[in-house]
Structure formats: structure tokens, C-alpha cells
Structure 1
Amino acid sequence: MEITMIEIRKLKVTKGLLAFATTFLLLLSILPATAQTVLQKVNSNGKITVATEVAYPPMEFLKDGKVVGYGKDILDLIVADMGVQLEQLQLPWDGILAGVLANKYDLVATSVAIKEDRVDKYAFTRPLAKAQTMLVKRYGDSMASLNDVNGKIVGAELGSSQAAEVEAVDAELKASGGKGFAEIRGFKSTDDMRLALAGGQIDIGTIPSFSLATMQEQRPNTFAQLALIGNGTLFAWVAHPNGADLRDRINESLAK
């Protein structure tokens, strides 16, 4: 049987198309599937994993070994509205924000101050609370105002909004001719700072103003208000910056 040149060309084209198709299908098989968004992952898993520092009463704290507080009540309502299960991790403040950036969990459901240097790094929910920074002293201490804090040791949680405002007050005290604080001592957790205050290792502690009443209820005759500083801070929860869809879904529930 005689094969013409035209048939030979057709055969080459057909073989070329088959080779191209085979290569294309092979590439499709090894390429990763389109990545899910944070909300899609939560919905497909049927579970949202959140990290909480249980150190900000009445928003988040421990009672009888369980996470309780206004923030926990709100979180439970949101999770129910989303129709998923909740996995809540109890973590110290140190590293909790880095964890959400590393996708170790879906949400930081603890009271995070909305600060200018954070708004571009995280997807903040709508605010859940507002508070000023409160300087607290041991119950019965003679300090009565900011005029008495020069030369004292003050404690603050590392990286917190309270720490930044204490540094601003220290600068103001020195600018007005005072000594300023003898030391601004950083702590990895608010609980550690409160223990140091109660035990006399520091003279002054720093907390959000909404925490004092619960602290006094938990430990009567231990802490007392000294002064309020700053202009007040809004607190919210945060997701990964790529988790805006989860943030928006949470905001929908908060608006109900």
C-alpha cells in the first residue's frame, strides 16, 4: 500500500497533538489544586480552630478549668451561627499573633488592641470592647496618683498596648523633670505580671480598665486602681491577612 506525503504529514501532526495532550494532562495531574480560602477550609472541615489567651477578665479567663467570659459567650454564638465545631487552644500572649500568621490556627479569639502597626498585618474583626490602660497597685499601697510613680518598677505584658502607653508616660514624666519609672519590666503573660505585683516584685501593674472588677472579685484585697493613662483602645479578634473572608463572616454574625 502506497502512503502519500500528505498522509505522512497528517500522521506527524496527529502524533504531535497526542504528545502535547499527554504532556498537558500530566502537568495538570501534578499541579496543586487551587488553595482554599480560610473560610472555605473552616467550612469544609466543619471546625474552626481559635487561639485564646485566658488573661483578660471579664472578656476571657479561666473558671473551674474552663474558658469563660463575655468573649467566650460571643464566640460560642458565632460558632453556632456558622454551623461548625469549635477547637479552642489556650496559649500565652507571647507568640499568639505570630501563630495566626503561620496558619497554626484560624483565628485569635482574644482581646487584641487595634493598633496602627497591626492593621496591615492582620484581618481585624469589628471591635468587641474598648478600654483604657489602667495602672494598678497592691491593695493598701499609699500611691495615689501619677505624681507618685517616679522611681517605681512597673510591669507590662510584652508587645501589648499597655506596654506602649507605659513607655509614653515614662517619657512624659522625664520630660517634666521627674525620674520616670525605675524600670519597665516586660512579662510574657498578664498572669505572670499580676503574680509579680501581688508578690512585691514590681510596684505597679498594667491592665485594660475592664479587667479590674473581675480581678478584685477573684482576689479580694489584692489589687487597687492607681490611675488611667492613654485615650482608650479598641479591642477585637484577628485572622490571617488572607483570611478576610473569615473575618467578614464573623462580622456578619456579630451584626446580628
Structure 2
Amino acid sequence: MSTQEFDGSYLLPLFAQADRLRGNGVYRPLPTPASSSSLATDDKPLGPWRAAHLIQVSYGAGLAHLDAFRRLTLAGEIDPTSPWTLMRGALENFATGIWLLHGKDRAERRHRALSLWHEDMRNRAQHEDDTGHQPAPGGKTGTERRREIADLAHSLGLPNLTAPRTTVLLEQAAPAAGLDPVSTRAAWRAASGYAHGRYWPNIRTAQPRAAYESGTDSYMLAMVIDEAQHRPLTEYCGTMLRHLHARYHSRSIPS
């Protein structure tokens, strides 16, 4: 059983990154791409369905997840689940931005952006159906917006929009950031297991701290985070954050 107190020193470089990207209580957003930049050229025919906007929002969400973990750690509130779930959210967010910034050519990058917008509007339509929400006069539903995106994709010769699968997105973003896709995917799987309340991650990636008798021939184990197992996830997250930040800025400057 583990008797070692949580150290967390391996988190300091990642937390320092988060701290540098925060000022006056807000996260510093990624800038609007210059009109002559590579990214703006990608986005020019996409109208409101720009990749840059998706990347900016995903980046901001990732920083919020990361900073929430930093603040939780500073408060001394380390449980065996939240460090995994918060890093899972950040990893997915940063990987999404990288996936949108990369692609073999401009057509593929535009197709990725429209595919993600198409799925985004599907989820919006589902929420509208669940809540009975109706748009204001002159507004459009998520379903109608989704149809607009599909029509735009067809007009650009980019049909067959499909919802990006998280595993595929991670597998394609990881090598772009210089990471091994299989190792990255494995860390993400464990984090996802915690997020969904599964049993198996506790066996593979946590350490027992104590055992308590909870009934006849039955015991309850107190589990703590295994830092050796959690460390790779934070390193992958930091690598993706640095790559996303650098890649976005390089593709946003005037060409």
C-alpha cells in the first residue's frame, strides 16, 4: 500500500505555463489572425464557420481546465479522480486545436473545421430539443445552421461531413505535436475511465492507501493518485499546449 504523501512537483512546469497565460484574473486569448496569414486564408471562404474561432474557444477551455487543477492543488484538495478528469478535458481541448491547425492541405483543414462546426450544431439542436428552446424572431435553430454548414461544404467541394471521433482526433494531433499517438491515447483512456466513473482505472493507475472492513468478509480500499501514472498525462498536456500556442501564432502572422 502507498504511504507516500502527494508530492506533485512534476506539475510545476505545467502550472507555470498556465500562470503565464493568465493575467488580471482572465486567460489571455489567442489573437485574431492577420488578414494575410495562412490561417485567415484557410478561413476566408468559411464565413462565420471559421477554424480560428473553434481553436480559440477550445484553447480557452483547456486553460480553464488546467487552471482549475492548479487552484485545486494550491488549496490542498487532491482526490484520486479530479486530477485525471481535468487533465482529460485539457488534453482533448488542446488536441482539438492542433487537429484543426494541421492537415495535409487547405481543403483538409477546411473540411475538419466544417465537420466540427457541423457536429457542434448537432449538439446544439439536441439541447434545443431537450429544452424546447425556440430562437428569437429571425434566428435559426441548430438544425437549420447545420444545414447551412453542409450546404457550404458542398459548395466548396467538401462533402461527407462526419463527427470527429475523439480517439482519431488524438491520434492525429499527437504526432503533429511530436508525441507518440498510442501512449497519448492510453493516458487519455485512463483519464476517461475516471471521468465516467469506471472501476478499472483504479486498478491500473491508482494506489491503495488503506483498507477498512465494511462488512462480513468485505473491505473498502482508500485509493490515492499514483503520480507515476498521472505524470505522462500532464506531460502530454503541456506539450500539446506549447505546440498549439506556437503553431497558432505562426499561422496567424502576416505571410
| TM-score, with structure 1 as normaliser | 0.24
Structure with a larger share of its residues in strand: 1
The structure with more radius of gyration = 1
| TM-score, with structure 2 as normaliser | 0.24
Structure with a larger share of its residues in helix: 2
